[in-house]
Amino acid sequence: MKFDKPATTNPIDQGKVIGKATDRIDGPLKTTGTAPYAYERHDIVPNQAYGYIVGAGIGKGTIAFLDDSAARKAPGVLAVVSAKNAGKLGKGNFNTARLLAGPEVQHYHQAVAIVVAETFEQARAAANLIRVDYKREKGKFDLAAAKDSAIKPTPQGGFDPIPDTAVGDFAGAFASAPVQLDTTYTTPDQSHMMMEPHASIAAWEGDKLTVWTSNQMIAWSKGDIAKTLGIPKENVRMDSPYIGGGFGGKLFIRADILLAALGAKAAKRPVKVALQRPLMPNNTTHRPATIQRIRIGATKDGKITAIGHESWNGDLPGGGLEVAVQQTRLFYAGENRMTKMRLATLDLPEANAMRAPGEAPGLMALEIAMDEMAEKLGMDPVEFRIRNDTQVDPEKPERPFSQRRFVECLRTGVERFGWQRRSATPGTVRDGRWLVGMGVAGAFRNNLLTKSAARVRVDPRGIVTVETDMTDIGTGSYTIIGQTAAEMMGVPLDRVVVRLGDSDFPASCGSGGQWGGNNSTSGVYAACAKLRDAIATKLGFDPAQTEFVDGQVRSGSRRVPLAEAVGDAEMVAEDQIEYGDLDKKFQQSTFGAHFCEVGVDRITGEVRVRRMLAVCAAGRILNPKSARSQVIGAMTMGVGAALMEELAVDKRFGFFVNHDLASYEVPVHADIPHQEVIFLDETDPISSPMKAKGVGELGICGVAAAVANAIHNATGARVRDYPITLDKILGTLPVVA
């Protein structure tokens, strides 16, 4: 189905199932511990052995000598695989050549070998017997030191961004602006710490490979593992029905998948691998640190005349940009504009996607800058943002937003949060020993359109089954896909079976980029629409005049139960959603406003978040219950980014020091107060037949800046280097009387 204009009639608009707060249909499995996560699928294939990965002990250099003889002789060991016996590996689309070191070592904890044994304990013990001698080389591990040598990368197509943009005369407009801001902000490296580590079971049957894994993008990864192993794509099957958190860290195949496959081939046994927690920060991908310079020029009445945003980040050779300027290109008005991104070579683990890549760290800087500019102007920060709203793409004024209700998000938040009680003078509101402040930040995240397919069946009992390789990373995909099929086919949700994550199913959009909910359900919509037409035609009905309601197929005065309409054999339809040039005609984005109140201990500098509010405008909310869960989870991540999350880099030897859950701090329940979420009641007919967009990543965008702005309002401390730890606040606190 091609969707290039709003549908005149749309079964989704009935709203009987879609848009209703619905318990997750996979909830009982997860709460009883029976959901089949990758490593726990003990019965999926017999005779499973255990793999244990050995990580490199240097940040850059080569393997001079690797002796695995003692490991091979250890009790229970079935195989040891390293670069010296892995065979030639191909280069996949997503940096798979980096997954196994040898002889070159590109980063600390890069996989050096896998030991396969009868038990996990035997594999671990034998792994400690492998002797590796390295030739260490001098590496680059400091973004600030490498900043001046950063390059302007050339886009290679696909998702690669344009590094530089310019509209009007930024330099001239900024120089002549009556009020100016020119400030630099930094954000640190941050790590994925999802509950389920990267885990896979691999099994060979002849030259065919099956991998049961934890992966967000099945179609991408199936192609990449085939390229890497040098086998036909049709010889690979990937299955990932349940994922215990992804956040971008499981978008691509990682060492667990590749080494499980190599280990299984060498051992001639199915092999299961779970990446040990201390390896995850350095072995897998992370959000890279940024240095961001923002310049804003405005008139004295608060109209932006010039806005410029430059960002630097680092990555391994051939790596990519953290697109931290993306939102600045679209968020606020201003005739004269400039953005630049530069990439430095760093010999740290691979930098890549982490929840809301680009906008999350970009808004950590931009939304403090907007507050600083409002302060210079003597304006309320909410009013300053409203004054610079735009209903068109500020780089391409001929292209309007499909919907943009940012101002309504702000005004709704002002009323609900009690913003009028905020003191404009920092450090003046106290509650005992606590200095109390409020902060606000805008939220922005693009709505991305990508094709997505599904297969829908109806059997003679009237049971509807949906099959698609879409994944559920804890986001509620099972439920919204089930709701879509139930609405389209006119049956209750309990008459729908949803099967996900298998590469044998039609290729979906996958989970990532906040595009999963809107596009995957649109693919299901397309398949259901095709099946509806087939059923109506079989009954001799005019498809355009046929309704599927309450388990019946209706046309005029005729009523036929769905099961009877199907007959003795199931009916099946498969289709995919494809978009025309809507994204070229309209700018599609999601918007929000975050409000935060903090208390700061005036003696110790301890920060306590007291309450939070998010107001979101993101098209039709398909399941308000799971959407709220997504947003409060994102808000929690935003608090972590603001106050505690930071991968500490050892700049001598090139590794992240705090590489486990014991030393990498994340928020706990005691850190998070009451969180309120408001979804504006809206549908966006331009976005898709579902009229939805996405909200899971919008929820983190701007949160850290709202916390930072609240701390400033409480104390007068303007911290521009995240995370905002006690040492950065203490020196600015008022003297205790």
Kindly list the catalytic residues.
Answer: 697
DSSP 95: S
Give exposure, 98-117, as e/b (b: 16+ Cβ within 10 Å): bbbbbeebbbbbbbbbbbbb
Cα separations (Å) of 441 from 570, 591, 615, 705?
Answer: 52, 11, 11, 6
Helices (H), 615-673: 624-643
Contacts of 737 (CB under 8 A, 6+ apart): none
Helix then strand then coil, in percent of the chain rounded to 5, is: 30, 30, 45
Closest CA to 214 of 485, 12, 473: 473
Closest CA to 329 of 312, 310, 352: 310
Distance CA 581, CA 384 (A): 34
End-to-end CA, the chain: 70
Closest CA to 243 of 204, 283, 201, 199: 199
DSSP 351: B
Q: Contact 252/95 with Cβ under 8 angstroms?
A: yes
Q: Contact 447/518 with Cβ under 8 angstroms?
A: yes
Please give the structure tokens belonging to residue 611: 């309450």
Q: Kind of pairing, strands 179-187 and 290-298?
A: antiparallel
Q: Contact 505/468 with Cβ under 8 angstroms?
A: yes
Q: Contact 143/311 with Cβ under 8 angstroms?
A: no
Distance CA 195, CA 441 (A): 29
DSSP 721: B
Cα separations (Å) of 135 from 53, 60, 82, 469?
Answer: 21, 9, 17, 44
Q: Contact 705/441 with Cβ under 8 angstroms?
A: yes
User: DSSP string spanning 115-161?
Assistant: EEESSHHHHHHHHTT-EEEEEE------HHHHGGG-B-PPP-STTPP
- 203, β-bridge pairs: 210
Distance CA 587, CA 329 (A): 12
Distance CA 725, CA 700 (A): 19
Closest CA to 715 of 552, 589, 576, 602: 602
Distance CA 326, CA 309 (A): 9
Closest CA to 592 of 413, 421, 400: 413
**Residue 147 identity:** K
User: DSSP string spanning 526-563?
Assistant: HHHHHHHHHHHHHTT--GGG-EEETTEEEETTEEEEHH
Cα 60 from chain centre: 29
Contacts of 154 (CB under 8 A, 6+ apart): none
